[in-house]
Amino acid sequence: MIYLLKKKKYKVESQLIFPIMFRELFVDKGFKLNLLVQNLIIVELKAIQEFIPINKAQLFTHLRLMKKRKGILINFHCSNIFYEGQILLLQKNIRNYL
């Protein structure tokens, strides 16, 4: 996936690790993003039987913490990635976090 995106001239960063600060607690490896495309879209890659609510919750948390509006969940464990293997999530209330 990274290869194809870069071949189309998209800027792609993978396995990004971001710290989290909660009050006086600093966690240097707070969370990890699978892909960040064009510094705009967070892509979470999965290989699971089916999406469950925690998958969406995780991506919404990443969107909020990174102050991004768009995220895509992609599941490689399905018969057709385009019909059943992806979910687009939009963070509508991003202004509350900026």
Q: Amino acid identity of 32?
A: K
Question: What global pTM score does this model have?
Answer: 0.82
| Nearest 10 degrees: Cα torsion 69, 46, 17, 95 | 10
Q: Give residue limits of the domains in the chain.
A: 10-47+55-78
Average pLDDT of the chain to the nearest whole number: 87
How far is the C-alpha of 9 from the C-alpha of 40, rounded, in Å? 15
53 Cα distance to chain centroid: 15
What per-residue confidence (pLDDT) applies to 1? 87
Residue pLDDT, tens place only, 54-98: 999 999 989 988 889 999 999 999 888 877 888 888 877 555 444
Residues 1-38 have pLDDT tens digits of 899 999 999 999 999 988 888 788 888 877 889 999 99
